[in-house]
Amino acid sequence: MTLPVYLYGHPVLRKVSDTVTADYKDLRQLIADMYETMYASEGVGLAAPQIGRNDRIVVIDADPVGDSFEECKGRKLTLINPEIEILGDQTETRYEGCLSLPGLSEKVKRVEHIRLRWLDEDFQPHEEEISGFLARIVQHECDHLEGKMYIDHISPIRKQLIKGKLADIAGGRIRCDYPVRYAPRKK
């Protein structure tokens, strides 16, 4: 089932998410729905807060950007309770977008190499060193679990320049070609 994507301005995107336990109800169905939602909106990653749940679950399918970034080819990751360890001090600045910020893309500086630890949908532990654009996607999605969004990383000048667009998204004054949920109206 395709779920609506919660847009910037919704408080669910600003909360720190909870650790997922093995007794989590209907986890497999939720993960399947998250993949379906991500594919329907042509994203390469989706975090649970974006479908309105403050739980530490992320789905990634980076294959669509595999032609531009070799490290993304064929990479599909279901992350439960992911943890990032930064490796080295190399950074890279590239454009990023987010399904919760339709129509926007901004340059974001990210760490180039990380070690990722996570549980899969069977709660089996995994660990892998990840680099490049795949590491960027992982960092972007894991930010969502901390209540952060990529616009938190951009300069105050850039943020000022896109202020109007952000207000339009938060105010529900945009059209989107996938199902979305707007922020509740401020009283």
Could you list the active site residues?
141
In this complex, which beta carbon is closest to Ni ion, that of residue 98 or of residue 154?
Answer: 98
> Least distance (Å) from Ni ion to the CB of residue 108?
11
In this complex, which beta carbon is closest to Ni ion, that of residue 62 or of residue 98?
Answer: 98
Q: Which residues of 47-67 are buried (b: 16+ CB within 10 A; e: fewer)?
A: bbbbbebbbbbbbbbbeebbe
Q: Which stretch binds Ni ion (CB under 5 A): 84-92, 93-101, 162-170, 176-184?
A: 93-101
Q: Which residue has the closest beta carbon to Ni ion?
A: 98
Q: Which stretch binds Ni ion (CB under 5 A): 7-15, 92-100, 110-118, 162-170?
A: 92-100
> Least distance (Å) from Ni ion to the CB of residue 160?
21
Cα R_g (the chain), whole angstroms: 16
What pairs with residue 60 in β-bridges?
Answer: 45, 77
Is 134 a binding residue for Ni ion by CB under 5 A? The answer is no
Q: Most distant CA pair in the chain: distance in Å?
A: 48
**How many chain residues touch Ni ion (CB under 5 A)?**
1
Q: Can you tell me which of 7, 98, 116, 130 binds Ni ion, judged by CB under 5 A?
A: 98
> Least distance (Å) from Ni ion to the CB of residue 141?
7
Is 62 a binding residue for Ni ion by CB under 5 A? The answer is no
- The sign of the CA dihedral 145, 180, 100, 41 is positive
> Least distance (Å) from Ni ion to the CB of residue 148?
10
Is 27 a binding residue for Ni ion by CB under 5 A? The answer is no
Is 138 a binding residue for Ni ion by CB under 5 A? The answer is no
CB-CB neighbours of 149 under 10 Å: 20
Task: Name the token pair of 182.
Answer: 């707007």
Chain residues in the site for Ni ion (CB under 5 A)? 98
